[in-house]
Structure 1
Amino acid sequence: MHVTLRALIRAQSLTLSEVLYQDLRLAESVIPVDFVEGVRALLVDKDNSPKWTHENLEAVPLDLVNAAFAY
């Protein structure tokens, strides 16, 4: 959610091609982490019990959010 909010705010001042580039880079940085776990919990094992990297939003380090935009 942190990354999504920042991406939306940044997108207001970007061109369409810049927004698409941003979205591609962000997808590449986020998919290897919790996206795969969400797919596992919902579609593969169907246990609906994902084991997220961070316990809650407050536990997400700002450095991790910043790293998603370091492209």
Structure 2
Amino acid sequence: MESHEYLLKHSQELSEEYPGKYLAIVDDRVVAVSNSGHDAFENAKKICPGKEIYITYMPTELQL
């Protein structure tokens, strides 16, 4: 499953688990979570070098 497909399939549970956070998704799993998109990306690069990393923000309920 590609990262974007994973996000679409699991967006509700991810938004409940990680409100206000940036997620780094590789293939079909969240590999890093941070308050900063840059930090999430840098951490994911260390965990999954050479892989395509998908970064997304999970808004809080107030931001919706």
TM-score of the superposition, structure 1-length normalised? 0.27
Which of structures 1 and 2 has the bigger CA Rg? 1
More helix by share: 1
TM-score of the superposition, structure 2-length normalised? 0.29
